[in-house]
Amino acid sequence: MGRYFLRRLLLAIPTVLGVTVLIFVAMRVIPGDPLRTIIGEGQIYVLSDEELAAVKASLGYDKPLVVQYLVWMKDVGSGNLGYSFWQKDKSIADLVRRRGPITLQISLMALLLAWAIGLPAGIISAIKRNTIADYSIRGFVTLLMAIPNFWLGLAMILFTIIFFRWRPPIELTYLWDSPWKNLQMTIGPAIVMGFSFGAIIARMVRSSMLEILRDDYVRTARAKGLNNKTVIFRHALRNALLPTITISGLYLGATLGGSVAVERAFSVPGLGLSLIYAVQARDWTVIQSLVLLFAVAYVIINLVVDYIYAFIDPRIRYE
Amino acid sequence: MVNENNNFENVGDGDSPAGRSSNLVGATASSIFRFLQSSPIGAVAVILLIFIVFVGLFPGLLAPYDPNKLFYSELKTPPSSEHWAGTDFLARDSLSRIFYGARITLMVAVTSVFIGDLLGFTWGVASGYLGRRFDLISQRLLDMFIAFPTIILALLILAALGAGLVTVIAAIALIRIPGTARVMRSVALSVKEAQYVEAASALGASPIRIMFRHVAPQCFAPLLVVASAGLGSAIFTEAALSFLGMGVPPPTPTWGNMLGGVLNELFQPPWWLVIYPGVAITITVLAFNLFGDALRDYLDPRLRGRLEERT
């Protein structure tokens, strides 16, 4: 088992390296000259050719690409994410420390909510197959899967403004500082993402439950006279949860970064919002660091899910 | 193309001969008919889609006004008999913009899914069939792309290339490649084991010929399923990107950037500007999803598990 863990860990290293190369290529190679793009389009700064050369030299841009890449890797490796390109006094590490907890909190709340809704809905739908309960759950799930989550967020804000004259607060407050204020800010995005993902979980649980309920060992369990509850919860559900855990991991990784649109809809001061502002302002140092952070978080979560999976599913061979 | 459906019903069993030739028109018509008969919900989705595609192709026939015409005296007016969906913050007719928005939405979704899935298909089939070192390298490369949450990858590409119609299509196409390649690889792996592939090889057919003539056609039905399911998510991605201001830029109307326009007035948002574009997205994605589900059940129910794990 230890060897399996090590092997998976080693496989993740080239992936992370590849990710850094991809980001590097996107930010500095593809557009030919990102600085010219930034300066050519920005009405904020217009630099002359000499100034441009000076800026480039100060950033190490006059060096060969390989050297630039290695310098970046050295900085990242030592935890130095650099500073915002436009506001030289804003440290990116600081930004991540301030806003990261909010994004993480929202993702975890959403995941919790999704399980709380999706699991019972999926189970009911599967064991009461082709009843009104099943049809209404499936209908609701199908509808939810077609609603963009950021729009659900906009609609929610609209609803509370019109009917309660209240809008979720947008200033940054942590759970440990002021739980009540923090929850007012985070609950909206968590509900929106929780429902979207709850629909996927319900669908997943239903289809894997239905498949498993047809399996031989379930029939055996029934044949030896176990009551229905035991068969469903001890035998069927435990196996049906395996794929659900996998997609939960994928989802957690995706929402860490994919909540950008929801964070924008609610104007929640999380990392997603920082990223979109950075993209709009072409603040490429912030973009490259945040994208790297999201990708690395995603890789780590996938790794953890693999481990959990191997731990709870004895059928997985540790090769 | 649809003619080949007849062969594809038993993908995985792998014992059907490739390239059965029959009356093309008759076979197409009868398989469409059987599809519609097999799923009433799928039939409803098809009718809805025909309507949406019609709107996308000829928005001018239905839209009451030019989408960029300004009605100076009617800034942000609620729905009325002249403007059924109200006017926006630049005093343009909202309903007309929704109709014209269908055009961009469909164009982006269809083109990007076509390009992305075609590349993913080719790559996945080659990787699964050729195996060995090519497969190993391909899988590691795909790992790299899969390591990004999709919206983040799209934002990275758009940050590098700039927002615009072509770059949005390129970005959405690119983020589709890894998922499609993964599914197609697994399909190709199972098709590869079929006896007729072995037979072709025994007859002396070259690997490349076997791949194109015998393996690839068998992977086509799963591709159709993947692509039809992908249209809905492509619409989502396009809407999210436009909403974030990184999609097709204004004044060209898209449902996403119409919603993005609301962000500036979140303290007093006009409800009609929030509700209608979102409803348009939802109905369209719903129709695509229902159609995709029905198509999957019709072509290959066994694909179900494989596809759901990706979402």
Tell me the C-alpha distance between B127 and B136, whole Å: 8
**Exposed, middle or buried, A297 (CB in 10 Å: 0-12/13-18/19+)?**
buried
Nearest to B293 by CA among B225, B222, B223: B225
Nearest Cβ partner of B149 from A16, A30, A257? A257
Residue of B141, B148, B174 to mutate for A, most A C-beta atoms under 10 A = B148
Whether residue A66 is contained in a domain is answered as no
- Tokens standing for B88? 């926006």
Whether B235 contacts B259, CB under 8 Å? no
Q: Please check whether residue B2 is in contact with residue B31, taking contact to mean a CB–CB distance below 8 angstroms.
A: yes
The residue to which tokens 């990007």 are assigned: B112
Whether residue A268 is contained in a domain is answered as yes
pLDDT of res. B16 = 41
Tell me the CA end-to-end span of chain A in Å, nearest whole number. 9
Tens digits of residue pLDDT in B243-297 = 988 888 878 888 988 888 887 776 677 888 888 999 999 999 999 988 888 888 7
The answer to whether residues A264 and A193 touch, using CB atoms and an 8 Å cutoff, is no
A97: closest CA of chain B, how far (Å): 20
**pLDDT category, A1, cuts 50, 70, 90?**
low
pLDDT tens digits, residue range A268-280? 888 888 888 888 8
Residue A212, domain member (yes or no)? yes
pLDDT value for A29: 61
What's the pLDDT score for residue B107?
A: 92
pLDDT digits (tens, 9 = 90+) for A232-247: 777 778 777 877 887 7
Cβ pair A82, A92 in contact under 8 A: yes
Q: Distance (Å) from the C-alpha of residue A220 to the closest C-alpha of chain B? A: 24
Question: What are the CA-CA distances from residue A250 to residues A38, B192, B309 (Å)?
Answer: 34, 29, 9
How does pLDDT run across B50-102, given as a tens digit for each residue? Answer: 998 888 888 878 777 777 777 777 777 777 777 677 777 777 888 888 888 88
Query: Per the domain annotation, does A5 fall within a domain?
Result: no
Q: Is the peptide bond before B251 cis (omega within 30 degrees of 0)?
A: yes
pLDDT of residue B113: 94
Spatial distance between the Cα atoms of B163 and B171, rounded to a whole number of angstroms: 10
Quick check: A204 and B308 in contact, CB under 8 A?
yes
Amino acid at B160: A
Per-residue pLDDT tens over the stretch B192-221: 777 787 788 778 777 788 788 777 877 888
Give the bridge partners for B70, in sequence order. Answer: B92
At A311, is the pLDDT very low, low, confident or very high (cuts 50, 70, 90)? Answer: confident
- Average pLDDT on B140-169 reads 85
Residues 213-232 of B with CB under 8 A from A: 232
**For residue B227, what pLDDT is reported?**
87
User: What are the CA-CA distances from residue B193 to residues B33, B127, B202, B302 (Å)?
Assistant: 32, 15, 13, 17
Q: What are phi and psi of A314, to 5 degrees?
A: -65, -15
Above 90 in pLDDT, residue B169?
A: yes
- Token pair of A82, please? 């650099």
pLDDT tens, A3-44? Answer: 777 888 888 888 888 888 888 888 776 554 555 545 444 444
**3 state DSSP class of B92:** strand
B175 at interface of A, judged by CB pairs closer than 8 A: no
Q: C-alpha distances in angstroms, B89 versus A267, B42, B70?
A: 20, 38, 10
pLDDT value of residue B309: 42
Task: Take residue A17 and report the two structure tokens written for it.
Answer: 């390296």
What Å distances lie between residue B8 and A128, B136, B211, CA to CA? 33, 28, 16
What is the end-to-end Cα distance of chain B in Å, rounded?
Answer: 27
Does A203 reside within a domain?
yes
* Separation of CA B19 from chain center: 26
Tell me if A211 and B305 make a contact (CB, 8 A cut-off). yes
Q: Are A284 and A38 in contact (CB under 8 A)?
A: yes
Give the Cα separation of B175 and B189 in Å (integer).
Answer: 23
A318/chain B closest Cα distance in angstroms: 19
Contacts of B20 (CB under 8 A, 6+ apart): B6, B7
Q: What CATH number should be reported for the domain holding residue A303?
A: 1.10.3720.10
A211: which chain B residues are within 8 Å (Cβ-Cβ)?
Answer: 305
Residues of chain B in contact with residue A155, where contact means CB-CB under 8 angstroms, are 274-275, 278
Q: What is the pLDDT of residues A76-134, one digit of tens each?
A: 777 777 777 666 667 778 888 888 888 888 988 998 999 999 999 988 888 888 888 88
Closest to A31 (Cβ–Cβ): which among B160, B281, B309? B160
Predicted local distance difference test score (pLDDT) of residue A61: 67
- Which residue in B139, B117, B133 sits closest to B228, CA to CA? B117
Query: Helix B150-161 and helix B165-192: axis angle, to 10°?
Result: 140
Higher-pLDDT residue of B5 and A291 is A291
Cα→Cα distances B252→A117, B66, B84, B97, B104, Å: 39, 12, 20, 9, 8
How much is the pLDDT for B58? 84
Assess contact for A252 and A140: CB atoms under 8 A: no
Q: Name which of A145, A254, A198, A262 is nearest B285 in CA terms.
A: A145
Chain B residues whose CB is inside 8 A of the A276 CB are 155, 244-246
DSSP state of B100: H
Closest CA to A270 of A99, A56, A147, A123: A99
Query: Across chain A, what does the average pLDDT equal?
Result: 79
Residue A19 in any domain: the answer is no
Nearest Cα residue to B255 out of B244, B242, B264: B242
Q: What is the pLDDT of residue A315?
A: 65
Are residues A18 and B144, on separate chains, in Cβ contact within 8 Å? yes
Chain centroid, CA B207 distance in Å: 31
| Residues within 8 A of A (CB atoms), B 141-170 only | 141, 143-145, 147-152, 155-162
Residue A64 lies in a domain: no
- Do A80 and A285 meet the contact criterion of CB atoms below 8 Å apart? no
A198 found inside a domain: yes
Q: Average pLDDT, stretch B32-46?
A: 79
**Maximum average pLDDT range among A57-71, B75-89, B150-164, B205-219:** B150-164
Enumerate the β-bridge partners of residue B93. Answer: B87
As a whole number, the mean pLDDT across chain B is 79
**Band (A257; pLDDT cuts 50, 70, 90):** low
Residue A304 has pLDDT above 80, yes or no: yes
In the prediction, which pLDDT does A285 show? 80
Q: At B210, which amino acid appears?
A: I
Query: Which two structure tokens, joined as six digits, stand for B73?
Result: 């005296």
Domain count, chain A: 1
Give the percent of chain B with pLDDT over 70: 87
Quote the percentage of chain B above a pLDDT of 90. 13
> What is the rounded distance in angstroms from the CA atom of residue B193 to the CA atom of residue B215?
10
**Alpha helices (runs of H) in chain A, residue ranges in sequence order:** 2-24, 34-41, 49-59, 65-77, 92-127, 132-144, 149-164, 179-213, 216-223, 228-230, 238-258, 260-266, 271-281, 284-312
Which pLDDT value is given to residue A32?
Answer: 42
Phi, psi of A75, deg, nearest 5: -60, -50
Considering only alpha carbons, which residue of chain B is nearest residue A261? B240
| Residue A182, domain extent | 92-317
Nearest to B120 by CA among B191, B174, B189: B174
The conformation of residue B251, written as its DSSP 8-state character, comes to T
pTM for this structure?
0.83
pLDDT value, residue B303: 56
